[in-house]
Amino acid sequence: MSSSNAGQSAGQLETRGIEPVPEGECNGHPLQLFWVWFAANISILGLPLGATLVAFRGLAIWQAIIVAILGAAGSFAVVGIISIAGRRGRAPSLTLSRAIFGVRGNIGPTLVSLMSRLGWETVNTTTAAFVLLSLCSILFGSPVEAKSAPVLTLIFIAIFVLLTLSVSGLGHATLLVIQKWATYVFGALNILVGGFLCATIDWSAVFNATPAPMSAMIIGIGTMAAGTGIGWANAGADMSRYQHRSVKAVRLVASAAFGAGIPLVLLITLGGLLSVGNNDLASATDPIVAIRDMLPTWMAVPYLITAFGGLLLSNNLSVYSAGLTTLTLGLKVKRVYAVVVDIVAIFAGSIYFMLIADSFYGPFITFISLLAVPITAWVGIFVVDLIHRHYYSPKDLLDVSPSSAYWYSGGIEWRAFGAWAIAIVLGFSFTTIGTTAENVWFKGFLSDSWLGHNGLGWIVTFVVAGGIYFVLGGAKDRRAAQTENAHA
């Protein structure tokens, strides 16, 4: 929704929705984005990622560090690349995507992106509520279960979503400030807890570990990338659209790669160190409880506070992005109301999974992982398009009628949409979807190949989507090119 005053001061309501930001309001700098990505990835839940590298892939710790750098920091470099589009087009990622897929063809990627965002936000919310229940268990001296304390569970869910709403609802400027200063607080707590956990490491086993083959490292890089930066790629331009025109592309890439990479590499490394000779963390169904059990009671309290804060910082950014994606999907409300709609959705989802459903993490995270295939296909096409596209028509990004330069054929750019669809089909053919080895939802016909068996189908999806789009000549539609050349 348009407004003459976008409210770009911290503590004031950001009234701008998905419409491109006027040049005069674009005064951002890359250090702001550094703190945003750092805060979103400071969650101590990064520890189980490193645990899987050592416990299940058999990597030596030096190999785990290399994998973390290439997989986590490297995948966030992709987020930084997509941030370049935000600086160029001054609009959210999925809004800019209309220029690639067409105003109607873009509905598919937007819907998938929104479902993924809401899914991970529900994971964050339920996990945070479980964290608060764990704190109560320590304070009361006896276990407090969600279904045995429904009122308390509802209160904890409400606390988390209201804290999220207070930041995401106010918008971009407030988000920048909160994420920066909260990083100092929760970063210090992470160091405190991490330092104590280091005392539990079997250092002799660490130094005597046998390195794994190169193939295990390749698989690990793919696993880290899929579990970190790829999931955030569609939020890159959401945060960079206020960046100053003079900001260089390399600094945008660096702000994401280093901002997210530093905490992730440290946490993944610590998780790997903790798992040398001990598979408990890697195999835990509830990593929060698994890590808590490694700590004495007096240290478990700051650990749980740290876990809650990390989840909240991640959720702040995710909900803000989801609100913009909701508007791109066509909801005709102000941005803050779109955020409220998303908050209500994750509140309802958290209630269902905590108080009604018999299980949560296995089925739900499996569902979200399934959405990673179409998201990765979108990323491949978006990155290829970004190579040549230096201008997005603000008027046409918001025009969803046949008069838009991004209407293409019936509202769809068939080269992009076709490449996206083909890559999804091929990606799923390498994929096995299921909650356990016995409970398989779907098994692709190439899932037993080396790529499929090792969970690398998302790489095939990325390469195929971008490759087909490039080969089909999806550089510029003639009508869009004329518009862009006239304004560039």
Q: What is the largest CA-CA distance in the chain?
A: 70
Q: Tell me what pLDDT residue 159 has.
A: 97
Distance, CA of 104 to CA of 116 (rounded, Å): 20
pLDDT, residue 436, reads 61
Q: What pLDDT does 408 receive?
A: 95
- Predicted model pTM: 0.90
CA distances from 7 to 28, 92, 299, 332, 341 (A): 14, 17, 41, 20, 21
What's the count of helices (H) and strands (E) in the chain, helices before strands?
24, 2
Which pair of tokens denotes residue 75? Answer: 């995948």
Q: Cβ of 195: how many Cβ atoms within 10 Å?
A: 10
pLDDT in tens, 92-146: 999 999 999 999 999 999 999 999 899 889 989 998 998 999 899 888 888 888 8
**Measured distance CA(7)–CA(4) in Å, rounded:** 9
Cα atoms in the 13 Å half-sphere on the side-chain side of 35: 19
* Residue stretches of the chain with pLDDT short of 70: 1-8, 284-286, 359-366, 368-369, 434-438, 474-488
Measure the CA angle with vertex 408, ends 407 and 412; round to 5°: 80
Q: Where are the alpha helices (DSSP H) in 141-248?
A: 150-168, 172-198, 203-207, 214-227, 229-232, 236-240
Q: Which residue has the tokens 């995401």?
A: 168
Residue 232: per-residue pLDDT: 92
Asked if 105 and 416 touch (Cβ cutoff 8 Å), the reply is yes
Select 23-478's CATH number: 1.10.357.10, 1.10.4030.10, 2.30.40.10, 1.10.4160.10: 1.10.4160.10
Whole-angstrom Cα distance, residue 61 to residue 38?
Answer: 23
pLDDT tens digit sequence for 6-48: 446 778 899 999 999 999 899 999 999 999 999 999 987 788 8
Q: E strands within 39-141?
A: none
